[in-house]
Amino acid sequence: MSTETRAQSTRVRGALSKEPRIPAERLGIGVVRDLVDSIVSGAAKPGETLPPEALLATEFAVSRTVIRESIKRVEEKGLIQVEQGRGTIVSPTNNWNVLDPDVLDAMIAHDDSLGILDEVVSVRALLESEMAAVAASVVTDDEINDLRSSLEQMQQDIADLVAFPAGDILFHAIIMNISTSRLGASISRVLVGAALESRRYRGGFGDKYHQDTLDEHAAILKAISERDVAGAHEAMRHHILVAWERRRPPVAGKD
């Protein structure tokens, strides 16, 4: 093994070593997550070769079968390529499946610039504004009542730091269901689900923040209930973007 390969293996092994070990029945899940984290964090860089199967098995204290299956799962996420005679090569970032929950979670966790969260918010705004517009064109009176009831419940829960965010998610889910865009709703759920794991995305909460959210939801409800397609599109886009602006923490080294 060359000095460069040995050094690279040491970096990866250091990044992959986690204590305490997870239960045996979940070892494969832990191996996959650690491999993903190692690659996304840059401990294993595009074009580099992961340590051989036997060495990974030793480092994780699992069987080579577990390692082999875990490598297949990471390859399915677009992070690596297994090449005959070369080993397991880390893929370029443009090959990564960034909508895979494990990959997206790791990208957000290692993004000090908040650029990934900015992208998540931008894509979410595009998707949900379109779904709000469609909802405005097809909504029924019963569905309007469902949205109104959801907003009223949020008003009652305005001081509850658990119930209010849950109500916020429900309000958006109702609109997505009205739109019948299963693909858009699925992508948005993946994006929001991963983002919500980050404290930097969730930001601070409180009555003022919640009241702003309620006011914006009320504007969305008004546009949808009036069947105002353009108004619903703009109200949703505005809400998602300005809500992130309120929560977005300052980035070190930037004004």
Report the CATH number that the domain containing residue 147 is assigned in CATH: 1.20.120.530
SS3 90: strand
Whole-number Cα distances in Å, 27 to 80, 158, 222, 224: 20, 41, 50, 48
Report the CATH number that the domain containing residue 44 is assigned in CATH: 1.10.10.10
Between 64-76 and 53-60, two packed helices, what is the crossing angle to 10 degrees? 110
pTM value? 0.79
Residue 134 predicted with pLDDT over 90: yes
| 54 part of a folded domain | yes
Residue 24 predicted with pLDDT over 50: no
Nearest to 50 by CA among 30, 29, 26, 67: 67
Same domain, 90 and 126: no
Predicted local distance difference test score (pLDDT) of residue 208: 78
Distance CA 76, CA 70 (A): 10
Same domain, 137 and 73: no
Band (5; pLDDT cuts 50, 70, 90): low
Which pLDDT tens digit goes with each residue over 52-97?
Answer: 999 999 999 999 999 999 999 999 999 999 998 889 999 999 999 9
CB atoms within 10 A of CB 183: 8
Q: Which residues contact 73 (CB under 8 A, 6 or more apart)?
A: 28, 32
| 80 part of a folded domain | yes
Same domain, 86 and 135: no
Predicted local distance difference test score (pLDDT) of residue 16: 57
SS3 80: strand
Same domain, 86 and 136: no
Predicted local distance difference test score (pLDDT) of residue 14: 58
| 253 part of a folded domain | no
Same domain, 119 and 174: yes
Which pLDDT tens digit goes with each residue over 190-243?
Answer: 999 888 888 778 765 556 789 999 999 999 999 999 999 999 999 999 999 999
Same domain, 57 and 132: no
Same domain, 152 and 27: no
Using CB atoms within 10 A of its CB, is residue 121 exposed (0-12), middle (13-18) or buried (19+)? Answer: buried
| 9 part of a folded domain | yes
Least confident span in 106-115, 124-133, 173-182, 200-209: 200-209
Residue numbers of the domain that contains 210: 111-247
The total number of structural domains in the chain stands at 2
Q: What is the DSSP string of 190-230?
A: HHHHHHHT-HHHH----HHHHHHHHHHHHHHHHHHHTT-HH
